[in-house]
């Protein structure tokens, strides 16, 4: 994995982290969540009552959207059209991550049956649960943040806290980033 860019070099990475931290505060086992990225100044102009909750120094503010419909995520994203005030969006979703050698074993299943692949990944003993946040700006900047759900090491006591790992790279979810970009096409 490539090291993440410094916040000044890629402000959308900071927004992706902010969205991930917000979603993480509610715990695990959540449905996908979509956020509009809106200029903070414009949001405060339209809703001045938010002045005590938002920092005008932050150029963009993530705004949680209504729940996405159950079913195919790509289909749901394909129906989204943003108003001009929305300059970007972010999607948080829980996923299963498998080691590369396991992914190679399951390639034939992927081509045959997507539901069978989901079940095989979810039941695999070497799976890791994760939360992925992908964020895009209308102008083209992208970022991804993934929180790998922590586990206790085998030698840790039952009282030991599980430790999550955070990975940042714009290369984590190229297909999802492209799907999010298409929500800004006319």
pLDDT in tens, 92-134: 999 988 777 777 776 666 555 667 767 776 777 777 899 999 9
Sign of CA dihedral 105, 110, 111, 115: positive
CB 16 within 8 Å of CB 144: yes
Mean pLDDT of 68-87: 92
Dihedral sign, CA of 143, 169, 178, 64? negative
Stated pTM of the model: 0.81
Confidence bin at 143 (pLDDT 50/70/90): very high
Question: Span 59-83, mean pLDDT?
Answer: 92
* Rg, C-alpha atoms of the chain: 18
Buried b / exposed e over 90-120, threshold 16 CB at 10 Å, is bbbbbbebbeeeeeeeeeeeeeeeeeebeeb
Query: d(Cα 122, Cα 129) in Å, to the nearest integer?
Result: 9
């Amino acid at each position: 994995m490539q090291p993440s860019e410094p916040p000044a070099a890629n402000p959308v990475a900071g927004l992706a982290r902010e969205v991930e931290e917000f979603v993480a505060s509610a715990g695990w086992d959540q449905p996908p969540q979509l956020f509009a990225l809106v200029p903070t100044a414009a949001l405060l102009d339209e809703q001045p009552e938010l002045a005590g909750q938002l920092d005008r120094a932050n150029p963009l503010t993530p705004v949680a959207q209504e729940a996405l419909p159950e079913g195919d995520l790509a289909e749901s994203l394909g129906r989204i059209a943003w108003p001009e005030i929305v300059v970007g969006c972010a999607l948080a979703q829980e996923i299963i991550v498998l080691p590369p050698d396991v992914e190679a074993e399951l390639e034939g299943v992927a081509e045959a049956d997507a539901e069978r692949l989901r079940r095989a990944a979810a039941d695999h003993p070497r799976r890791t649960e994760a939360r992925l946040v992908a964020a895009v700006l209308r102008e083209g900047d992208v970022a991804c943040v993934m929180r790998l759900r922590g586990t206790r090491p085998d030698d840790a006591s039952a009282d030991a806290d599980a430790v999550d790992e955070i990975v940042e790279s714009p290369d984590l979810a190229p297909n999802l980033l492209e799907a999010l970009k298409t929500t800004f096409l006319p």
